[in-house]
Structure 1
Amino acid sequence: MGVSTSSPEKGISVVTVDFPPVNALPVEGWFALADAVRAAGRDPQVRCVVLAAEGRGFNAGVDIKEIQARGAGALVGANRGCFEAFAAVYECEVPVVAAVRGFCLGGGVGLVGNADAIVAGEDAVFGLPELDRGALGAATHLARLVPQRLMRTLYFTSRTVTAAELQAHGAVWRVVPPGELLAAALELAREIAAKDGELLRLAKAALNGIDPIDVRRSYRFEQGFTFEASVSGVADRVRAGFGKDFGKEGT
């Protein structure tokens, strides 16, 4: 359980998240993920990072139960942890391929929205159920996956979209059977890692430099409203009615 790093092939590092039962990450989990991705990107032998997950789904966001138990301290920690993890993926010195299976919700969208490429299983679904869970955020990253009006509709309704639908919008590179997901992600990573390592790092920096959106500033702005919802009592009111039969749920 936790965050682990492996090197299945030369030039490729796989960072795997495993927080049963649904990969709703606690505060420490977000920081551990950020550290692992940054460390992989700094390794001069690594030319591509694959972000993967074990268990029932890719990511269910933050651990709401931790926030409910620990209060404002956990909320601040989760905000900072998500900010660091999302930034680590975006700023990773080499390309990051997200291998998404099952649900990718809330913070999961923050991760894949900052990845350089996405390979998804046929069972993958993506969404921001934030308004149903007393939170806000990651619209910055959903806007990198779908057109503006669709992003707003998904955000306001808390609906999800499938991997096939995201592929139709150009956000997903390949959609494969779940059992073939890691192999497909490694295939893409292998093609990327075949390039010159120094040139890849320059290319990643160049593409980030021409990005029309400052993802760090944009997401930090969103987080301010998440905190406002919490201190005003709105978040607690919404979470009080949140389904109690899902175990460790995310946002």
Structure 2
Amino acid sequence: MGVHLKRGPIAEVVIDFPPVNAVPAAGWPAIAGEVTAAGADPETRVVVLAAEGRGFCAGVDIKEMQRGPGHEVLLAVNRGCAAAFAAVYDCAVPVIAAVNGFCLGGGIGLVGNADLIVAADDATFGLPEVDRGALGAATHLARLVPHHLMRAMVYTCRTITAAELHRFGSVHEVVPAADLRDAARAVAAEIAAKDPVVIRRAKEALNGIDPVDVKRSYRFEQGFTYELNLNGAGDRARRKFVEDR
């Protein structure tokens, strides 16, 4: 249980918070730390970000947030998510997200900042934030789908399949779930075979020409989550989610 780093030319960072990979407050900085450590290792050429269990990531642990006093957990989660998403984006080498099952909320923040996505044929992607009384990661969803679809997904909380994202070019490859990790490593091996100095500079160059500052954009979104908590809407939505479960 937790976040695990397996070092090597193709490093693996694996998320493992059973039963559904709803990541607790302490889990987000752990993801950030392991991704950053992997990229900082001069032996690393590619990082594969994967998960154990039924799904890649169910987002933040809403139940933990409701159990915590005041806004301490919310503040820790928001800072942790920002750090984890930024670590994927800023990682010195390409990051390949290997997505199984569901990828929701904070999971979108992780994969939206990844360099490539390989997905299982059962994978679905979505932002249920509106139903949870929060906002955020539309910045990252906008990197995966066209603008008006992004808006529709935010407002309705509908999900989209890996096959649909593959048609947009957002998902590099869709494979049977049993083959997911091998398929991600195969793409990683193709990149790892290139000159590592050139690949690291390519990552830096591609980040430098991005039209949107993803870190600042995401923090702007988070400001509305704070507002929703101050006016009580956030707590109402989270309480309903916990009670319905």
> Given the two structures, how large is their TM-score scaled by the length of structure 2?
0.98
Q: Which amino acid aligns with 2:19?
A: P
Q: Report the alpha carbon displacement of residue 66 of structure 1 after superposing the two structures with TM.
A: 1.2
Tell which has more relative contact order, 1 or 2 (C-alpha 8 A, sep 6+): 1
Q: Distance in 1 between matches of 2:240 and 2:205?
A: 46
Q: Distance in 1 between matches of 2:89 and 2:238?
A: 30
Unaligned runs of 5+ in 1: 247-251
The reply on whether 1:124 has 2:123 as its aligned counterpart is yes
The corresponding residue for 1:30 is 28
Q: Deviations over 1:73-111 (max 9, x none)?
A: 000000000000000000000000000000000000000
Q: Which amino acid aligns with 1:130?
A: E
Q: Report the alpha carbon displacement of residue 243 of structure 1 after superposing the two structures with TM.
A: 5.6
Q: Deviations over 1:156-211 (max 9, x none)?
A: 00000000000011100000000000000000000010011111110000000000
Q: Distance in 1 between matches of 2:244 and 2:236?
A: 18
The corresponding residue for 2:109 is 110
Q: Which amino acid aligns with 2:50?
A: A
Q: Report the alpha carbon displacement of residue 38 of structure 1 after superposing the two structures with TM.
A: 0.2
Q: Deviations over 1:124-144 (max 9, x none)?
A: 000000111111100000000
Q: Distance in 1 between matches of 2:236 and 2:83?
A: 28
The corresponding residue for 2:99 is 100
The corresponding residue for 2:13 is 15
Superposed counterparts of 1:94-243, under 5 Å: 94-242=93-241
Unaligned runs of 5+ in 2: none
State the secondary structure of the residue aligned to 1:57. Answer: coil
Is the 2:5–2:34 Cα contact (8 Å) retained in structure 1?
A: yes
**RMSD in angstroms over aligned alpha carbons?**
1.0
State the secondary structure of the residue aligned to 2:23. Answer: coil
Percentage identity across paired residues of the two chains: 64
Q: Which amino acid aligns with 1:52?
A: A
State the secondary structure of the residue aligned to 1:27. Answer: coil
Counterpart among 49, 56, 67 of residue 65 in structure 2:
67
Q: Deviations over 1:15-36 (max 9, x none)?
A: 0000011101111100000000
Q: Distance in 1 between matches of 2:2 and 2:201?
A: 31
Q: Which amino acid aligns with 2:5?
A: T
Q: Which amino acid aligns with 1:241?
A: K
The reply on whether 1:50 has 2:14 as its aligned counterpart is no
Q: Distance in 1 between matches of 2:169 and 2:24?
A: 31
State the secondary structure of the residue aligned to 1:22. Answer: coil
State the secondary structure of the residue aligned to 1:56. Answer: coil
Is the 2:14–2:52 Cα contact (8 Å) retained in structure 1?
A: yes
Instruction: Kindly tell me the number of residue pairs found equivalent between the two proteins.
Output: 244
> Runs of 4+ in structure 1 displaced over 6 angstroms?
none
Superposed counterparts of 1:71-90, under 5 Å: 71-90=70-89
The corresponding residue for 2:4 is 4
